[in-house]
Every structure is written in structure tokens, then in C-alpha cells.
């Protein structure tokens, strides 16, 4: 996520007085690291409504693959509990973590010439964890998972809409009497055929998510539509039949033959308190190309706060804190302490796949002029903005619009507006502004009336107030007079992409990914299908739409055809296509000013010998942590 791509680089944080460097992340497979021991994770509780697994108020949906899709649950599913047809290796982009790989499938799917039929071949001889160790994973198990996702995983509790491209998926979701999803076929126990309604080269990435993980048939009712998950609509996580290297302690005693209401959940998941994972004896390392599973057991406990979680690592009660979030002052302080005294523990810095940018509305003057947008990109001091939002430990400046992981680092050094120094940036910005129709005297400053009092909204956070002042100072150099306005979170997020709100500029918008493909980034921000949702630039809006929304300017660019072209690609050609579209957006369309790719910072106990960051989820990979014995 940065122009410098320091995923595995040394961390020298002068702004935070860090005096030493540690290489991060390290990832060396093989016998160098011992297997065994108990890995202790600590996670702060969250009272947010969407936090199911970490919520101190017990949520029955916690760890349910079809409905709990927050990062903590996703990582525990990926690393440890379930396998999918295809997946990722739990490593950062620089170590192949962005590349889709076979998992339960024997190879990557076979895609028909028209791109509408995908065929997965499933490994034979793979079985579920006890007490279902005699049950083989077969193609029907994936159909059950997708059926359950369609019925139960609709927003806001799940992410089912990313599978709407499967033929008949939405019909099954909406019609309780529908017997099947028409686009799914199982010609034999080890083949799954998926028919889709439009070309979607990212379908494999969608199948890497835990929502598609297989669900075995119910021994008590083989015809049950959701297999052993039938009757657990309020939460299947406590009854999960594992396929990964670990299982929830006590899951082997679940009586799947009994009626669901009489089944006792696995004791190892104490909702809102703790989770204990033990070895799944059905799992064999030689049949799993993606997971190492160094630790014998994994124990996760919840703390009252981030401060308490970090203290647990400092005190040796935990080996790593388990949270996906931007840098906090507490975390920065512990990182300083550990860097100053490595005997206390280790610090690892990775790209957390969150990018922040300044959005421009291309239907409002002066940002309806591409030269103004380019001048704005030149004049913004990205390094100063990074410093204002936490310094180099918080993230790195970025010069393009898409996360590096989603382009397999193809544009890691690409920065078309990265002038050599401040003077060069000022000169380039003025040169662009001179070509604008809003610079009447061609002196490199926006001098039209519309250049004064431009509303630039941002949401409340201390660091964004400092960054807003920096943006205002930069913009003024080329005649853009910003009226920076602080809004509450709801007021900002409910309106920044609403076309009728007429926001000229939205500051410091953060964006991540739903899955490891640039489609989940580019389509969400720049396609016409995202109008009135997240497409604040209004790319792809028709003249009729713009008139309806009250704009005088009725022509904006569209990249819909280019998006469709990239969706016709798979694998490396698709990475290349997304990267080319990123360049086109930055140099020809210019809808945003990207400025920071945020870091994920982990601190670990000195017991940790091997560490890896999972680029798919954006958290540490627990299965790849080896411990001193």
C-alpha cells in the first residue's frame, strides 16, 4: 500500500524517536522453526454493533462463516478453522500473499472461453474434524455453504451480495421455496461447476472467503439444506465442523445426529470472553499448501481496551495483539519501547490495505476541469499529511489510487505527481493551473469566483484537523480557497458520496477491500453502479442523472468499459489490467488525491520466532507464528 513498498523493510521511525530497526515481516518455512506450544492472542473487546466475535455482549453469530465477516473472525477462519476451494497463503504481497492459489481444489478453476462457467476440481480424501472424521469433503458441501450464505448472509449481517453474480443466487436468497441455486452444478462428488451471469474475473477471489467454506451433510437429516448448520440460523460458529489445522476445543463432542436444539456447542468458544483452538487430527500438513500451523494450540482472550491488550503483550501474558486498526498513540508508545529494548519483544510493520484520499466531485467547478485536479495533485504535500496523521509509523505516502496488494505490487514505485521537491511541485502545479479555464490571467492560480470558499468536509478526529489545515495551506498556493468543515461521522459518511449533497471535496476518506481483487476497490469507487453509494467523483453519471441531481455541468468521464475489460481477465493479466486502469485514472481522469497507505503495526512477545502478515484479511497470520519452546 505504499509508493515505497516497505512491506519487508526495516522500520526506522525518527519522528517517534525509535532508535533501531527490526526486519518485518519475517517468513521462513520449514524445520528452522519448531512446532508446538500454545500461542496466546489478546484482542480488545468492542461494543460496536457490528463486532460479533469481540463483543463483550455475547453474539451467537460470532465465528459463523456466513454471517460474521469482520476481520478478526475472517482471520481465525482462514488461518485455522476452515479451508476454501482456493485461497491465499497468509503472507504479505511481497511474499506472494496477493496471488490466488488452490486450497481444497486440486488447481485453480478452469474458466470457459466465454468467462461464464467456472469449474473447480476438489481434492479427494479430505475429511472434517471429529466427530465427522469419516465424512469426506465433497462438492455438495460447497453448495450448502452458498445456499446458507444467500439466505442468511445478506447485508448488514453478511457479505452475500458479492456472490450475486452466480446464476440464481439472488432468486434463491429472495424465494424461500426455491429448491436450489440454478448456477451451481455437482456432476460428481469432486467437481463443482459455477455458472455466472456476467464475466467476473474476480470470482476466484470471492471463493477465497470463508462464506464459501464447505458444510458437511447432517447425519441426522441428510436432506437438510444447510447440512450440520441447519437449525443454527442464530449462529453456526459454536457448532462449526472444521477443515483447517485447528478446531474449537470440545467440537469433537458435538452430537450432530441430535436435533439442533439439543446439540451442545463446543466449550472452547466462550462468547465475548475467550476462544481455545486445538489441533484438528483430520488435518494433514502435506495436503494443505497454504497453512503451516506451528502452534499446537491457540488461545485468544479479550481485554477491556487496546491499552490492556498491549499491556498483556508487554507483561508476557500474550504473544501478539490481535486487532486490525490504524496506529493509536498507545501502540506507538509500545512500539517505541520495544524498538529501544528488543529484549521486551518485536515490532512488525506491514501495509494494512487501507488507503486514504481526498475526493473531488467532477461535476462541480472548479473540479470539473482536469487541469485543476492535476494541479491539486501536484500541490498536496503527501509527506506533510502523513506527518500530520501520525508520522511514518502510521503509513507511507502513496501516489496512485489502488492498493498495491490488489495489483501485486506492479505500481509500487508509481507516483505521477511526485515532484523532486516542494519548488518543483509548486512549478508543476502552476503549469497545470495555467491550462485551466479557471485561471483567466494564466499566472498559475485559480482566480475565478468559484475558486473561493470551496467547502472541504472532513469527519472528526484530532489528526484530521491538523491534516485539514495542511491541505488548506497547500491549496491556497494555487488559488484554491478551501473552507474546511468538520462534520460528525454520520453527517460526513451519509453525504460525501450522495450526488444531491453537492460535496465539492471530501477529505481523508479511507478505503479498504472486501476481498483480494482490485474489483472490490475500483468498482466500489469509480463505476456507475456505485453512484449514490461510494462514487463521490460521479464517474459514469449520465447527463440526465446530473441534471436530475441539480448540476449545471452535465458531462463527466466514465471508466465502465475499462472495468469490464479487466473483469474479462484472470490471474496476472488481470493484475496488469487493473494497474493500467489505475494509471489511466491517475493521469487522465484524476478523480482523487491519494496521499497515505496506512500501516498495520504488530508488537509481539520475545517468544515469537516467526511472524507473517496476512494480506488477504489484514491481520497477523496465527498459523505462521512459531514460538520458542
Residues 6+ apart with CB under 8 A from 538: 361, 362, 363, 499, 531, 546, 556
Place of cell 455458472: 195
pLDDT of 165-198, one tens digit each? 999 999 999 998 889 999 999 999 999 999 999 9
Nearest to 4 by CA among 568, 414, 609, 394: 414
Q: What is the pLDDT of residues 374-414, one digit of tens each?
A: 999 999 999 999 998 888 888 999 999 999 999 999 999 99
- The contacts of residue 267 (CB under 8 Å, 6+ apart) are 249, 250, 253
The confidence score (pLDDT) of residue 496 equals 83
User: Residue 19: pLDDT band by 50, 70, 90 thresholds?
Assistant: very low
Whether residue 273 contacts residue 301, with contact meaning beta carbons closer than 8 Å, is answered with yes
pLDDT, position 269? 97
Q: What percent of the chain has pLDDT over 90?
A: 84
User: How do residues 481-520 score in pLDDT, each as one tens digit?
Assistant: 999 988 888 888 888 889 999 999 999 998 999 899 999 8
Note the pLDDT of residue 461. 67
Specify the residue for cell string 493521469: 587
Cα–Cα distances in angstroms (integers) from residue 203 to residues 196, 452, 561, in the given order:
9, 46, 19
Domain 33-303+605-627 of CATH type 3.30.70.20: no
pLDDT at 464: 82
Q: Which residue has the higher pLDDT, 124 or 159?
A: 124
Can you tell me whether residue 364 is helix, strand or coil? coil
Rounded to whole angstroms, the maximal C-alpha distance in the chain is: 82
Which cell goes with 194?
A: 459455477
The counts of H helices and E strands in the chain are 15, 22
Q: Where in the chain is the domain with CATH 3.40.190.10?
A: 33-303+605-627
CATH 3.10.105.10 residue ranges of the chain are 352-599
Q: What is the pLDDT of residue 317?
A: 96
pLDDT for residue 462: 67
Query: Does residue 26 carry a pLDDT above 90?
Result: no
Judged against a pLDDT cut of 80, whether residue 7 lies above it is answered with no
Mean pLDDT score, 254-283: 97
CA quadruple 467, 357, 537, 70: dihedral, nearest 10? -120
Percent residues over pLDDT 70 in the chain: 95
Q: What value does the mean pLDDT take over residues 102-126?
A: 98
* Per-residue pLDDT at 539: 98
Q: What is the DSSP letter of 147?
A: H
Rg of the chain, C-alpha, whole Å: 25
pLDDT tens digits along 425-481:
999 999 999 999 999 999 999 999 999 999 999 986 667 888 899 999 999 999 999
Tell me: domain 352-599, CATH 3.10.105.10, correct?
yes
- Give the pLDDT confidence of 557-576 residue by residue, as tens digits: 999 999 999 999 999 999 99
Q: Is the pLDDT of residue 29 over 60?
A: no
CA atoms of 585 and 400, how far apart (whole Å)? 9
Amino acid at each position: 500500500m505504499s509508493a515505497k513498498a516497505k512491506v519487508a523493510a526495516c522500520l526506522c521511525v525518527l519522528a517517534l524517536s525509535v532508535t533501531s530497526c527490526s526486519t518485518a515481516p519475517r517468513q521462513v518455512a520449514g524445520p528452522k522453526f519448531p512446532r508446538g506450544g500454545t500461542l496466546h492472542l489478546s484482542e480488545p473487546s468492542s461494543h460496536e454493533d457490528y463486532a460479533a466475535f469481540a463483543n463483550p455482549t455475547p453474539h451467537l453469530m460470532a465465528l459463523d462463516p456466513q454471517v460474521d465477516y469482520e476481520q478478526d473472525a475472517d482471520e481465525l477462519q482462514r488461518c485455522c478453522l476452515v479451508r476454501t476451494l482456493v485461497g491465499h497463503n497468509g503472507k504479505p504481497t511481497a511474499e506472494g500473499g496477493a496471488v490466488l492459489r488452490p486450497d481444497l481444489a486440486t488447481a485453480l478453476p478452469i474458466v470457459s472461453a466465454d468467462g461464464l462457467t467456472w469449474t473447480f476440481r476438489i481434492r479427494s480424501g479430505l475429511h472434517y474434524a471429529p466427530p465427522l472424521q469419516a465424512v469426506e469433503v465433497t462438492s455438495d458441501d460447497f453448495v450448502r455453504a452458498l445456499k446458507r450464505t444467500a439466505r442468511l448472509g445478506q447485508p448488514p449481517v453478511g457479505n452475500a451480495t458479492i456472490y450475486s453474480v452466480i446464476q440464481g443466487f439472488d432468486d434463491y436468497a429472495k424465494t424461500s421455496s426455491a429448491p436450489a441455486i440454478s448456477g451451481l452444478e455437482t456432476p460428481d462428488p469432486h467437481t463443482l461447476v459455477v455458472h455466472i451471469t456476467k464475466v467476473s474475473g474476480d470470482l476466484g477471489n470471492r471463493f477465497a472467503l470463508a462464506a464459501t467454506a464447505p458444510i458437511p451433510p447432517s447425519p441426522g437429516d441428510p436432506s437438510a439444506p444447510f447440512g450440520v448448520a441447519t437449525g443454527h440460523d442464530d449462529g453456526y460458529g459454536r457448532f462449526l465442523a472444521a477443515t483447517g489445522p485447528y478446531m474449537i476445543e470440545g467440537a469433537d463432542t458435538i452430537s450432530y445426529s441430535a436435533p439442533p436444539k439439543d446439540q451442545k456447542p463446543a466449550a472452547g468458544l466462550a462468547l465475548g470472553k475467550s476462544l481455545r483452538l486445538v489441533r484438528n487430527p483430520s488435518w494433514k500438513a502435506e495436503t494443505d499448501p497454504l497453512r503451516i500451523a506451528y502452534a499446537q494450540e491457540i488461545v485468544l482472550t479479550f481485554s477491556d481496551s487496546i491499552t490492556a491488550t498491549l499491556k498483556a503483550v508487554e507483561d508476557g501474558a500474550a504473544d501478539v495483539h490481535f486487532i486490525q486498526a490504524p496506529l493509536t498513540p498507545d501502540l506507538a508508545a509500545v512500539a517505541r519501547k520495544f524498538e529501544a529494548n528488543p529484549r521486551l519483544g518485536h515490532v512488525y510493520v506491514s501495509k494494512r490495505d487501507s488507503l486514504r484520499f481526498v475526493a473531488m466531485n467532477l461535476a462541480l467547478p472548479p473540479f470539473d476541469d482536469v487541469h485543476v485536479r492535476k494541479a491539486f495533485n501536484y500541490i498536496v504535500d503527501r509527506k506533510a499529511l502523513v506527518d500530520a496523521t501520525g508520522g511514518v509509523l502510521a503509513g507511507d505516502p502513496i501516489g496512485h489510487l489502488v492498493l498495491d496488494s490488489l495489483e501485486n505490487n506492479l505500481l509500487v514505485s508509481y507516483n505521477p505527481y511526485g515532484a523532486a521537491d516542494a519548488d518543483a511541485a509548486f512549478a508543476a502545479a502552476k503549469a497545470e493551473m495555467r491550462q485551466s479555464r479557471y485561471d483567466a490571467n494564466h499566472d498559475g492560480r485559480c482566480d475565478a469566483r468559484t475558486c473561493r470558499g470551496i467547502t472541504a468536509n472532513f469527519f472528526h478526529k484530532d489528526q484530521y484537523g491538523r491534516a485539514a489545515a495542511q491541505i488548506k495551506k497547500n491549496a491556497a498556493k494555487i488559488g484554491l480557497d478551501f473552507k474546511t468543515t468538520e462534520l460528525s461521522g454520520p453527517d460526513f459518511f451519509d453525504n460525501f458520496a450522495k450526488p444531491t449533497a453537492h460535496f465539492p471535496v471530501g477529505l481523508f476518506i479511507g478505503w479498504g477491500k472486501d476481498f483480494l481483487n482490485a474489483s472490490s476497490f475500483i468498482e466500489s469507487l469509480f463505476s456507475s453502479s456505485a453512484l449514490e453509494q461510494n462514487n463521490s467523483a460521479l464517474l459514469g453519471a449520465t447527463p440526465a442523472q446530473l441534471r436530475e441531481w441539480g448540476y449545471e455541468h452535465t458531462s463527466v468521464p466514465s471508466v465502465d468499459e475499462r472495468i469490464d475489460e479487466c473483469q474479462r481477465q484472470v490471474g496476472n493479466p488481470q493484475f496488469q489490467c487493473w494497474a493500467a486502469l489505475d494509471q489511466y485514472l491517475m493521469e487522465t481522469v484524476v478523480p482523487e488525491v491519494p496521499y497515505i497507505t496506512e500501516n498495520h503495526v504488530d508488537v509481539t512477545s520475545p517468544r515469537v520466532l516467526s511472524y507473517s502478515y496476512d494480506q488477504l484479511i489484514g491481520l497477523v497470520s496465527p498459523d505462521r507464528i512459531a514460538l520458542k519452546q
